[in-house]
Structure 1
Amino acid sequence: MARIKVRQHVNPLSIIYQQPLIPPDWSVIYPNLALPIHLDIGSAAGSFLLKLAQHERTWNYLGIEIRQALVIQANQIRDRAEIDNLHYVFGNINTSLATLLASLPAGKLQRISIQYPDPCFKQRHAKRRVVQPELVNDIARYLPSGGEVFLQSDLEWVAQEMCDRFSENPAFRRTQAEWLEPNPLGIPTERETATLKRGLPVHRAMWVRE
């Protein structure tokens, strides 16, 4: 399938993205609801989760993405690959994250990843950045003790700002002070692969829910 052309950046505060997400019936989506769940926030075209789901069958994988065309295409690719532990939903985490997390099978959310979020470079657009205190609070509410949050970006200031938001919440503990090397998940995103090929650093951190 040819890749579709999709806008690289959207404004999550726009009125067109304020419709709350209606979660699906997870018992229909995943054949085995007993498996732990990895949620990827901002799953883009979905290739990272696709590789993870193929590599590790003892997890269920879920991606949320604000660009609907990418979600449709990612689920089509999943269906052709006949992968049953993977699903993508269209939604804006600014309005839908708490609803999505509350709908998941109790205690099964075990890992969240946020990778290469839109930096929204202009300071007046800072409120559009993904990792806000409200998002961290929602994650703290629904991620059980021992659950992990994996953050990474090729922009150090973006990675540091995300870490700052999690460090402000006493529910989370960083696993180590230095940036992680190598990637502890073992599967790189397309952006990560391209960055490393250019010889540039990737800044990663893992946080644990206390």
Structure 2
Amino acid sequence: MVDQELTGQETANRPLRTIKSFVMRAGRVTEGQQRGLDQGWPKFGLELADGLRDFDQVFGRSASRTFEIGFGMGQATLEMAAAAPEQDFIGVEVHKPGVGALLSGMLAQDLSNIRVYSCDAIEVLRNCVADASLDRLLLFFPDPWHKSRHHKRRIVQPEWAQLVRQKLKVGGVLHMATDWEPYAEHMLEVLNAAPGYRNLAEDGRFVPRPSERPVTKFERRGERLGHGVWDLKFQRTD
């Protein structure tokens, strides 16, 4: 695999594929979500155009930092941030209703340890996040792109794994979860082949559902329908 032979600097300089792992959906923004956008974005929103950020300065402190890709409607993000006020969270979501819902929840719960981007997460990682600055990166229930011809759209690819590794601290953890077993196997294959990672699963495959990952309404519904969920944790080793 070509990516295994690249040095860290070569990987950093190599442009990532331009195929998007998401589709921009037109969704209705409710009054509450719009209120969240109007009142919360000026306080907690961050812009891709601002480039590389000093997140110690952004949050006003130095703390353990989690980066979440695709937070959906923000339920899990709010729960994690409320349970760990000593930690900071950076969430990225392209869909406005979800951004509005998260911001509305932050205002309602008086949470200040989350910052939000509303754009392509790969662009944020590449342009706004310093190398070796993240303690965790979360990717929960990304679009599995079921059809074979769409597999190239999956966010979990060798180039992405190396970008994530570049942004994690040594010892930092990439935590992924999916309810689609073929995608779980794809994630496992990509990360097992990626240099500089160690699978934290005892059997070298999947970890039990970690207690720090909230169970969402989406997941509960899947459980009722008999769907499984697979969690993967990989730690940056060097």
Q: TM-score range by the shorter chain?
A: 0.7 to 0.9
1:32-111 alignment runs, 5 A limit: 32=61, 34-102=62-130, 107-111=132-136
- Asked if 2 retains the 8 angstrom alpha-carbon contact of 1:145 and 1:209, the reply is yes
Q: What is the root-mean-square deviation in Å for CA atoms of aligned residues?
A: 2.7
Which whole-Å CA distance do the structure 1 matches of 2:180 and 2:23 have between them? 29
Which whole-Å CA distance do the structure 2 matches of 1:13 and 1:44 have between them? 14
Amino acid aligned to 1:30: F
Deviation at 1:130, TM superposition (A): 1.3
Paired residue for 1:190, among 208, 217, 225? 217
Which whole-Å CA distance do the structure 1 matches of 2:228 and 2:99 have between them? 29
The aligned counterpart of 1:12 is 20
Deviation at 1:193, TM superposition (A): 2.5
Deviation at 1:48, TM superposition (A): 0.4
Q: Which runs of 4+ in 1 moved over 3 A?
A: 13-16, 23-29
In the superposition, relative to structure 1, how do residues 68 and 21 fare at CA in structure 2: closer, same or farther (>3 Å)? farther
Which whole-Å CA distance do the structure 2 matches of 1:42 and 1:147 have between them? 19
Which whole-Å CA distance do the structure 1 matches of 2:209 and 2:148 have between them? 31
Which whole-Å CA distance do the structure 1 matches of 2:55 and 2:172 have between them? 20
The aligned counterpart of 1:5 is none
Paired residue for 1:171, among 190, 196, 205? 196
Partner of 1:185: helix, strand, or coil?
Answer: coil
Deviation at 1:131, TM superposition (A): 1.1
Indicate yes or no: 2:162 matched with 1:133. Answer: no
Indicate yes or no: 2:148 matched with 1:123. Answer: yes
Deviation at 1:191, TM superposition (A): 2.3
| TM, length-normalised to structure 2 | 0.72
Deviation at 1:27, TM superposition (A): 5.4
Deviation at 1:199, TM superposition (A): 3.5
- Asked if 2 retains the 8 angstrom alpha-carbon contact of 1:113 and 1:149, the reply is yes
Percent identical pairs in the alignment equals 22
- Asked if 2 retains the 8 angstrom alpha-carbon contact of 1:98 and 1:138, the reply is yes
Paired residue for 1:144, among 149, 153, 169? 169
Amino acid aligned to 1:169: A
Q: Which runs of 5+ in 1 are unaligned?
A: 1-10
Deviation at 1:138, TM superposition (A): 0.8
Partner of 2:233: helix, strand, or coil?
Answer: strand
Q: Compare 43-52 and 183-192 and name the one that shifted more.
A: 183-192
Which whole-Å CA distance do the structure 2 matches of 1:14 and 1:37 have between them? 24
Paired residue for 1:22, among 42, 46, 49? 49
- Asked if 2 retains the 8 angstrom alpha-carbon contact of 1:64 and 1:91, the reply is yes
- Asked if 2 retains the 8 angstrom alpha-carbon contact of 1:48 and 1:190, the reply is no
Q: Which runs of 5+ in 2 are unaligned?
A: 1-18, 25-46
In the superposition, relative to structure 1, how do residues 78 and 57 fare at CA in structure 2: closer, same or farther (>3 Å)? same
| TM, length-normalised to structure 1 | 0.81
In the superposition, relative to structure 1, how do residues 77 and 25 fare at CA in structure 2: closer, same or farther (>3 Å)? farther
Question: How many residues are paired up?
Answer: 194
Amino acid aligned to 1:80: A
Deviation at 1:59, TM superposition (A): 0.8
Indicate yes or no: 2:180 matched with 1:155. Answer: yes
